[in-house]
């Protein structure tokens, strides 16, 4: 993950958390335990629903689960419940809303921990060289994916691994050759293709 993506996702999660707190702070329970809005919260609910898919994705991006094991108290039905995607149904499932806030806080904390490291990493030229190298190696598989093939399956196959090794070797060789020619040029040796061909034919 790049520094700028981490910063954006952290900001969005914080905003999403505040939306949830604002929404539920403007609701209350009646005598039968049913939640009612104290004011018109339809706009808040709409904003939460629009931000929800990206918030779930941001939690998963740092390995933070947003699901709890659930057993229905009356029917004995068990399973996993995504507390963010089922945010407005948590009362019926007798799951406290604070469970969703807890998971968001954990994800926010993980983004806060990663942000300084990613900021330092963004100034490291070797990091960008590594990213460029990995992008070049994965380029053939992105072409296959765009053509409709299962790029991930091809990449993990024996053929895919051999292709990655071949592309990696070629990229490394080209980078090494470019660095060598640059070093020779700085030392005053001829490095143009025409001069190199003359040396090859002369030898």
What pLDDT is stored for residue 15 in this prediction? Answer: 96
Confidence of residue 30 (pLDDT cuts 50, 70, 90): confident
- Is the pLDDT confidence value at 48 over 60? yes
Structure confidence by residue, pLDDT tens digits, 103-117: 999 999 999 999 998
The CA distance from 183 to 174, in Å, is 14
Confidence of residue 197 (pLDDT cuts 50, 70, 90): low
Q: If you average pLDDT over residues 66-74, what whole number do you get?
A: 76
Q: If you average pLDDT over residues 123-131, what whole number do you get?
A: 67
DSSP string, 109-148: HHHHHHHHHHHHHTT-HHHHHHHHHHHHHHHHHHHHHHTT
What pLDDT is stored for residue 34 in this prediction? Answer: 82
Contacts of 163 (CB under 8 A, 6+ apart): 140
Structure confidence by residue, pLDDT tens digits, 172-196: 666 566 666 566 666 666 556 566 5
| Contact (Cβ atoms closer than 8 angstroms) between residue 90 and residue 102 | no
Confidence of residue 47 (pLDDT cuts 50, 70, 90): very high
Q: If you average pLDDT over residues 119-133, what whole number do you get?
A: 70
| Contact (Cβ atoms closer than 8 angstroms) between residue 55 and residue 84 | yes
What pLDDT is stored for residue 180 in this prediction? Answer: 62
Of residues 154 and 126, more confidence is placed in 126
- Is the pLDDT confidence value at 144 over 80? no
Confidence of residue 123 (pLDDT cuts 50, 70, 90): confident
What pLDDT is stored for residue 100 in this prediction? Answer: 93
**3 burial via Cβ count (<10 Å: 0-12, 13-18, 19+):** middle
Strands 78-82 and 67-71: antiparallel
What pLDDT is stored for residue 120 in this prediction? Answer: 84
The CA distance from 156 to 139, in Å, is 14
What pLDDT is stored for residue 191 in this prediction? Answer: 57
Write down the number of H helices and E strands in the chain.
7, 4
């Amino acid at each position: 993950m790049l520094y700028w993506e981490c910063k954006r996702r952290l900001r969005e999660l914080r905003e999403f958390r505040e939306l949830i707190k604002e929404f539920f702070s403007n609701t209350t329970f009646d005598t039968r335990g049913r939640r009612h809005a104290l004011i018109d919260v339809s706009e808040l609910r709409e904003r939460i629903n629009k931000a929800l898919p990206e918030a779930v994705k941001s939690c998963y991006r740092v390995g933070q689960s947003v699901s709890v094991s659930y057993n229905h108290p009356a029917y004995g039905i068990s399973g996993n419940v995504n507390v963010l995607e089922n945010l407005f149904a948590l009362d019926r499932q007798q799951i406290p809303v604070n469970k969703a806030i807890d998971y968001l806080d954990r994800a926010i904390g993980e983004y806060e921990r990663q942000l300084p490291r990613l900021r330092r990493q963004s100034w490291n030229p070797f990091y960008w060289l590594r990213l460029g190298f990995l992008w070049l190696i994965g380029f053939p598989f992105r072409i296959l994916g765009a053509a409709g093939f299962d790029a991930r399956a091809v990449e993990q196959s024996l053929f895919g691994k051999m292709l990655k090794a071949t592309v990696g070797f070629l990229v490394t060789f080209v980078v090494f050759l470019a660095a060598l020619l640059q070093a020779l040029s700085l030392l005053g040796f001829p490095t143009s293709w025409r001069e190199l061909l003359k040396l090859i034919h002369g030898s």
